[in-house]
Structure 1
Amino acid sequence: NGAGKTSTLRSIARTDDPVVTAGEIWLEGQGLHNMKTHEAALAGVQLVPEDRRIIQGLTVEENLSLAQVAPGHGWSKEEVYEHFPRLGERRKQDGTTLSGGEQQMLALARALSRDVKLLLLDEPYEGLAPVIVQEIEKILREIKKLGITTIIVEQNAVAALKLADHAVILDTGEVAFSGTAKEVLENEQLRHEYLAI
């Protein structure tokens, strides 16, 4: 906490007056650091925030439809329901009445309903039952196979490192380590100091 993880994601997604004080953010030759939030979204940056931001009063299906209004479509509703069968079963249910795990699935599905090139996940496993974490990990492995670059900010670092190729450890806004996930898991000092394992 206080390491700057969420601020980093928000800076990349260009939300909430990003706090970038130096440097540049590039995606496929486009400088995100000069963009507004909607421009970054149209460029393919999709943020799944920690609070999920499910829209009250809208069904699961309506939440997904809203994500598909803007140009640049990703997964169709049929593809979403294929990957997230629980959402298909609850498509007519108000999104805010879903369980925490189902809301996380909906937030992730909403992002994938757009033309996503960079997926930003802020604490995707927080407060979820282990069985739901496993379901989300399965989807994230599929996303990885599709070649969608994903940045995961997660307190449950071991779970995130199982999926990661690259790892960055932030300490009060500074990069304390950057390397492969395997290097983190094999480095006793890093594991002890930053991961408490």
Structure 2
Amino acid sequence: MKATRLAIPDVILIEPKVFGDERGFFFESFNHAGFEEIIGRPVKFVQDNHSRSVKGVLRGLHYQIQNPQGKLVRVVQGEVLDVAVDLRRNSPTFGKWVSAKLSAENKAQLWVPEGFAHGFVVLSDSAEFLYKTTDYYAPAYERCISWNDPTLAIEWEISTEPALSQKDSQGKSLLEAEVYS
């Protein structure tokens, strides 16, 4: 696997070694020991999630203010632009964001550690998105930052208004949001 630390070094793009021929392909999508070596600390995943969305759907920017979740995300059908926003107040990159295109074709994964808001927008006709989490979903602690917060100025690479859930359409600005200390 090739691991690349992004502009926020705690967020890591992981690209697998893919073995393929005319019959198809094979790659190791997860290896616990190898993953811990890449991120440099022990990690225990407790939940796997799978979502499907159509073109133009934007999900996020989600986080849990208590029971924060680290997420290892990937796409198995289609393509998304995946975004992580640093919400750790004492971090030198607080309020900064990074993004990566994840697709079934590139088979890349993104490690989004605890302390970050996370979201993605579907760029293809549809996309299936898989992710592992380091803590369980806790709706009482879930928070959402507005996808179009001018303070963040995220470049979503879309030309039309995204389709949002009711919850996501009510996201707060970074200045109003609860963040991690």
Q: Same fold (TM over 0.5)?
A: no
Higher strand share goes to which structure?
A: 2
Larger Rg: 1
TM-score class, shorter-chain normalisation, is 0.3 to 0.5
Could you state the TM-score of these two structures normalised by the residue count of structure 2?
A: 0.33
> Which has the bigger relative contact order, CA under 8 A and spacing at least 6?
2
Could you state the TM-score of these two structures normalised by the residue count of structure 1?
A: 0.31
